[in-house]
Amino acid sequence: MAVNDGNSLGEDDSAAISGNVLGNDLYANGEAGADAPVTFVQWTGSTSGQYGSFTDNGNGDYSYSLNTSNAAVQALDDGQSLTETFTYQIT
């Protein structure tokens, strides 16, 4: 079972973030750790970032770079945030 993943960066962060979406997923019996026999199938929906660039690095690995010159990103005040959502499928 796929479990929501999260990652974050600040308004002026120029370094990319990366991760793997399988690490916190569950086996069919509810036990943690979907590294095997679970299989990453695909990213579903759009992987076009509205506020940055999303890169599919294969097998659930990803990286994301924030576009720090994006007007919406630069308009953020303290305490405000923007959200990008990317979805995936596992079996």
Among the listed residues 8, 77, 84, 19, the one whose alpha carbon sits nearest the alpha carbon of residue 51? 84
* Confidence band, pLDDT 50/70/90 cuts, at residue 73: very high
Instruction: Please give the residue that has the higher pLDDT: either 20 or 38.
Output: 20
What would the mean pLDDT of 63-68 be, rounded to a whole number?
A: 94
Among the listed residues 28, 35, 29, 71, the one whose alpha carbon sits nearest the alpha carbon of residue 50? 71
Quote the percentage of the chain above a pLDDT of 70: 86
Q: Which pLDDT belongs to residue 69?
A: 94
At 87, phi and psi to the nearest 5?
-115, 155
* Confidence band, pLDDT 50/70/90 cuts, at residue 35: low
